[in-house]
Copies of this chain bind each other. A is one copy, B any other.
Amino acid sequence: MTRSEENYLKTIFHLGGSKTTTPITTNAIAEQMETKPSSVTDMAKRLSEKGLVNYKKYQGVSLSELGIKTALNIIRKHRLWEVFLVRKLDFTWDEVHEVAEQLEHIKSEKLIDKIDELLGFPKYDPHGDPIPTKNGDIDEQGYDKQLLSELPVGTKGTCVAVKDSSVPFLQYLDKHGISIGKTIHILGKEVFDGSLHLRVGNREHTVSQQIATNLYLQSK
């Protein structure tokens, strides 16, 4: 397994390539990976040779059983390292992704199992995404969560995950005191643009619809 192969598998998984129903297009992969479609075609052939993906010319790519298992293993490593960075080394949630992108490729089963143990076998990463188990089981559902934008005014809930985990979005949330575990109260909604009025802790803010469609709450 090369690093590049691992990155392709991970991307294909994130684009939904574990379901055989709709194969992932060459273009979609290229765009996501910021590479050229021709490079994707080359890699699709290589991965197909190795039995990691199903690929037929002009018909896109989906992951094989082995491909899914491999992708989940990389995602497991990525997310465990993210938890480690936040909990043990005081990284902020917007800093972890870049470093975890490197750490996820370290080849040592013992290492990642020990990190898992050190962290007390966490179930979710710092963005609220579920961590696959050693056997490749993943709690796709996660918490019983709903997008902030889909909840009615008056709802009170706990922030459990983010949909977008880009650096600017995470920094925006930090600036407004929003993080995983925080209680959020929906005070009002502007019908015109879908913006929401919230109470987070003892502070009140207005957030745009774009924010509201990228934040998951568990309502109570």
A: which residues have CB within 8 A of B?
Answer: 85, 88-91, 95, 98-99, 102-103, 106-108, 110-111, 114-115, 118
Q: Which residue of B lies closest to A113 (CB)?
A: B89
Instruction: Identify 19 residue pairs between A and B in the complex whose beta-carbon atoms are under 8 Å apart, listed by A's number.
Output: A85-B111, A88-B118, A89-B111, A89-B114, A89-B115, A89-B118, A90-B114, A91-B110, A91-B114, A95-B110, A98-B108, A99-B106, A99-B108, A99-B110, A99-B111, A102-B106, A102-B107, A102-B108, A103-B106
Give every chain B residue within 8 A of A118 (Cβ-Cβ): 88-89
CA distance A90 to B115 in the complex (A): 11
For A103, the chain B residues whose CB sits under 8 A away are: 106
Residues of B within 8 A of A99 (CB): 106, 108, 110-111
Query: How far is it, in angstroms, between the C-alpha of A106 and the C-alpha of B84 when the chains are bound?
Result: 15
Docked CA distance A48–B169 (Å): 43
The residue in chain B whose Cβ has the minimal distance to the Cβ of A111 is B99
Q: Tell me the bound Cα distance from A115 to B90 in angstroms.
A: 11
CB contacts (< 8 Å) of A102 on chain B: these are 106-108
Shortest Cβ distance from A85 into B: residue: B111
Q: How far is the CB of A100 from chain B (nearest CB, A)?
A: 10
